[in-house]
Each structure stands twice: as C-alpha cells, then as structure tokens.
Amino acid sequence: MYVTRVLYSKICGFSFWYGEGRPRWLGPISYGYPSHLIGELPGDYGFDIASLAKDPVALHKYFNFEILHARWAMLASVGALIPELLHLLGPFHFVEPVWWRVGYSKLQGDTLDYLGIPGLHLAGSQGVVVIAICQVLLMVMLVSIIHIVL
C-alpha cells in the first residue's frame, strides 16, 4: 500500500479524477461519504455502503480481483466477436456464430463444431448439465489457484 500512497500523492495534483475534489457518486449533493475512501484508486466515487473498503488489505485484494475479472471480461468479448467475424468473412461456417444463441442451439439438440470443423466436438456432444458442471469445476479450480497465489 505504500507505493499506492506515494503514487496517490503525486497524481492528486495532476488529475481531476483523484483526490478529495474528485467527482462523487451523488454529484454535487452533500452526503456523508466514507472517510476511508480518499480517492487513491481508479473509480473511487465515494460509494461503499457495505463498508467493504475499510480494511486496506481486503481493499487491495478486491482491487486485484476486479482487475482479474476485467481481464476475463475483455477475453470473453474477443471470444464472442471472433466466431461472428470468421463466419462473416467466410473461412469458417458455424452452426450458430452469434454467441448469445449458442446456448439455445445446444438446447435444441444441434451439435456445435469447434472452430467450424465438422466432427470436432470438445464439449458439443455432452449435455448442457455436463458442460455446466465442467465450467463450474474449472472456475473453482482457477479461483482457488488465484487465492493461493495472492
């Protein structure tokens, strides 16, 4: 946290988004904002009704988890766009290239080919319940590894 405090003191004078004069979640309305949120982290608008940020160690851990989840979301957005682009440009033709209709196709009994290659079914031949169980187990393993590392 020492590095964060040093960077905070340097940034406060240069940026509109950090420090006491930063924008707040209620705008100009006066409110009893928590004293433990001093504007040292990105996105700190003074909103902490559950007091999750009171413990600095927990706040640092939550901050790291937020960055991790943002990276997963960016990866998911690329994973949602690539099949549609490949289908539109022509090198691969998918049963259902639109990401939000893949689950519906699976429930209708369609076999989904991985990368549009016929016969390549990584999780396409199993039922939806088996796929869901595999995803839950993989995410539990990933989060437990992250907890051990952090």
Give me 17's structure tokens.
């988004």
147 assigned ligand-binding residue: no
5 assigned ligand-binding residue: no
What CA–CA distance (Å, rounded) separates 14 from 148?
Answer: 37
Nearest of 109, 108, 118, 112 to residue 98 by alpha carbon = 112
CB atoms within 10 A of CB 35: 8
69 assigned ligand-binding residue: yes
| DSSP letter assigned to residue 20 | T
Backbone angles phi, psi at 32, to 5 degrees: -80, 75
Binding site membership for chlorophyll a: which residues?
66, 69, 115
Binding residues: 66, 69, 71, 115
For the annotated binding site for chlorophyll b, the residues are 71
